[in-house]
Structure 1
Amino acid sequence: MKITELKNAKLRNNKITMVTCYDFWSAKIIANTQVDMILVGDSLAMVMHGYTTTVPTTVELMCLHVQAVAKGAPHKLIVGDMPFLSYRKSLDQTMLAVERLMQSGSHAVKLEGGLGNEEAIKHIVQSGVSVIGHIGLTPQSIHQLGGHKVQGSEDAKANTLLTEAKILEDAGCCALVLECVPENLADRITQELSIPTIGIGAGNKVDGQVLVLQDLLGMDPEFQPKFLRKYLNGFDLLKEAIDQYSAEVKSGAFPSAQHSY
């Protein structure tokens, strides 16, 4: 899929699939799937580096992971996250971050929040770079939000999110991620926008879905938010394989003559 095909997918009611991945080997797998888009998310700070929030992610770290994914999936549409405060310091700093992400292999950038980002988004888009917005639960604002909570349950907050969605569309965003918002609100936003919505914890009435690869593969038994469906018990399967390897080495069964020169 290309960026220019996103709106047509919405018009034709063709659901969009996005998977978040962070490295070469997993990108190679996704490159051979029917998934439409790859998001190299700033959540790599948590999933790949063990931090408790996305805040420690830097532009340098993002670029390193985007480069790896681009090498593994050169024919997939790749979206790179703009990390914490990289688009809030100055327009010069914003465009430097955009430049580095695009030169690393991104085909578009994603940034969080609507209010206050309008002019930056317009400038990025006018500079020839596609932007995907992100509202609802915005992980870079996790301390201000008071934790990982559903956003937009109250009427006032729902109206604010709808306003933000329209601001992002008017600013030139080509798509919008809706994270952890009630399904009825996600449906309303989806119906009122001409650009596609991609949900995570936003129900089934959006134009597409995104999940982190490690989450959908069940790599963390302790992580089980309501929105997540695990398509594989990856933790136990990999653990079993590694334990089998260890046992065979200790017993002398591996390497056998078949695996020796």
Structure 2
Amino acid sequence: MAMETADRKADRKSIGSWERAKRNGERRALITAYDYPFAKLAEAAGIDGILIGDSLGMTVQGERDTLRVTLEQMVYHTGMVARGAPACLIMADLPFGSFEAGPAQAFASAAQLLKAGADIVKLEGGAAMVETVGFLSARAVPVCAHIGLTPQHVRQLGGFRKQGKTEDAAARMIEDAAALAEAGARMVLMEAIPAGLGAEITRRVRVPTIGIGAGNGTDAQILVMHDVLGLTGGYVPGFAKVYADGARMVREAIGAYAEEVRTGIFPPAE
């Protein structure tokens, strides 16, 4: 791992630094984390930002989608991550049912996440969220807009499917991204869209873009930590990359401990 400079470590916390990075062509990396130990490790590894995603419903809770994650759970996990990675940009998801009723509900929910330690909140949706984004931005709540494959809409979309594949769908997504940025979104996250579309939106909007399955033309990338570490023990999205066989290492370590207990090796005699 390349050593970080002191300036870079001090810089990655502020949203303004991410905007400067976009202007300077500096790519940044984010990862998800849901607790203190993994957040601390991610910061030590040099990650720029951490998302406490409602993906915790699937990766941590074992649910089939993200829809059962509550605001209270998000606040709980955000606090742990913020304590573990105080130098990283901390982004937290507004979970399903915590913001869709209108701007006032979204503000009340976002306020709880900011108080828990988030630097910016993320909400899913395109043009329908423009008013809410504007309302939050005017009230000191930094927002990252999430377009493309929006997991909270999985029932409506008919599954976890790539978005923006037709000319009309791509045009609408470009319009949505521009409108959300104009309304005050400080970042735009794009999930599971064609690489060309991800690059085009990145060129058109003034705010930093984050890609997950959106090609290499975005300003930043994000992956789910459990995919990166090989801890899912099952399906990994095609756009993800597994960097370690974490599941095997954990199994072997626990198995070695159990075997030493059974054979009397652990604990050692005094």
Q: What TM-score do the two structures reach when normalised by structure 1?
A: 0.96
* 8 Å contact kept, 2:59–2:232: no
Distance (whole Å) between structure 2 residues aligned to residue 189 and residue 27 of structure 1: 30
Q: Does 1:103 align with 2:115?
A: yes
C-alpha distance after superposition, 1:114-166 (max 9, x if no partner): 21111111111111111001100000000101101110111111111111111
Aligned to 1:219: 231
> How far 1:31 sits from its partner (Å)?
2.2
Aligned to 2:240: 228
- Matched pairs, number: 258
Q: Which of 121, 129, 135 in structure 2 is aligned with 1:123?
A: 135
Q: Map of 1:112-151 to 2, 5 A cutoff?
A: 112-151=124-163
Q: Map of 1:27-42 to 2, 5 A cutoff?
A: 27-42=39-54
Distance (whole Å) between structure 1 residues aligned to residue 179 and residue 95 of structure 2: 21
Aligned to 1:69: 81
Q: Which amino acid aligns with 2:150?
A: T
Q: Map of 1:72-221 to 2, 5 A cutoff?
A: 72-221=84-233
Q: Which amino acid aligns with 1:214?
A: H
Q: Which amino acid aligns with 2:90?
A: I
Q: What TM-score do the two structures reach when normalised by structure 2?
A: 0.93
Distance (whole Å) between structure 2 residues aligned to residue 46 and residue 83 of structure 1: 13
* Residue identity (%): 38
> How far 1:220 sits from its partner (Å)?
1.7
Aligned to 2:27: 15
- Aligned residue for 1:232, secondary structure, equals coil
C-alpha distance after superposition, 1:154-184 (max 9, x if no partner): 1111111111111111111111111000001
Q: Which of 6, 13, 20 in structure 1 is aligned with 2:18?
A: 6
- Aligned residue for 1:103, secondary structure, equals helix
C-alpha distance after superposition, 1:208-250 (max 9, x if no partner): 1001111100002312221011010100011111111111110
For structure 1, which segment, 91-100 or 35-44, has the greater mean C-alpha deviation from structure 2 after superposition?
A: 91-100
> How far 1:75 sits from its partner (Å)?
2.1
- Aligned residue for 1:14, secondary structure, equals coil
Aligned to 1:43: 55
Q: Which of 58, 74, 86 in structure 1 is aligned with 2:70?
A: 58
- Aligned residue for 1:165, secondary structure, equals helix
Distance (whole Å) between structure 2 residues aligned to residue 207 and residue 51 of structure 1: 31
* 8 Å contact kept, 1:6–1:174: no
Distance (whole Å) between structure 1 residues aligned to residue 68 and residue 32 of structure 2: 18
Q: Which amino acid aligns with 1:58?
A: T
